[in-house]
Amino acid sequence: MAEEKQKVSRLAFAVPAVFFALVGVFVWGLNNSSEELPSTLIAQTAPPLTLTPLGTSPTPTDADLRTDGVKIVNFWASWCAPCRVEHPILMDLAAEGIPIIGVNYKDQPENALGFLNELGDPYAQIGADANGRNGIEWGLYGVPETFVIDGDGNVVLRFPGPVTESVLNSRIRPAIEEARR
């Protein structure tokens, strides 16, 4: 009988211990999962852009990616809620004089233009990627995605997800400084 009580006591201890260990592993995994999705583009020449015009803004070309100076390429869409979240940050960057190339991804032109009319247009140049081909070439996982490009047309940073104030200061601004070197 005493031996049976010991087994029950060990089991009563083991079940919660295993449960809490699994919860701990799960929580650790959530907190330590990388935000970064792999990109083969880092330190490589940016893929060409072949876009269709969107509105009256100049349409970016492949040559525009290779001009002197740092530039940002931002893939976005009007149907993308996180794109609305990052939009004020992009407006601030544009006001600072950082050229931003906008790639409107798989969107209806009238919706994209309505988005820009409502929230403002941070893009020095903009074009549409209606069929998503450019997104495939750039390794897009979704929108928004932002790339920092140096003056030689090389990708310095790829950031998947919305650019927040924290991301701007911890990732985008350091990449801009690196691209200026």
- Residue-wise pLDDT tens digits, 79-132: 999 999 999 999 999 999 999 999 999 999 999 999 999 999 999 999 999 999
- Closest-CA residue to 116 (of 131, 132, 137, 100): 100
Collapsed DSSP state (helix, strand, coil) of residue 90: helix
- What is the reported pTM? 0.79
CATH node for 44-180:
3.40.30.10
Mean confidence (pLDDT) of the chain: 87
Measure the CA–CA gap between 59 and 55, rounded to whole angstroms: 9
Q: Which amino acid is at 148?
A: V
Q: Decide if 145 contacts 132 (C-beta within 8 A).
A: no
Collapsed DSSP state (helix, strand, coil) of residue 20: helix
How many other CB atoms sit within 10 Å of the CB of residue 123? 24
**Phi-psi group of 161: left, alpha or beta (phi > 0 → left; psi -120 to 50 → alpha; rest → beta):** left
Instruction: Count Cα neighbours of 126 within 13 Å in the Cβ-side half-sphere.
Output: 18
- pLDDT tens track, the chain, 181 positions: 666 666 555 656 555 544 544 444 344 344 444 455 567 788 899 999 999 999 999 999 999 999 999 999 999 999 999 999 999 999 999 999 999 999 999 999 999 999 999 999 999 999 999 999 999 999 999 999 999 999 999 999 999 999 999 999 999 999 999 999 9
- Closest-CA residue to 143 (of 68, 61, 86, 70): 86
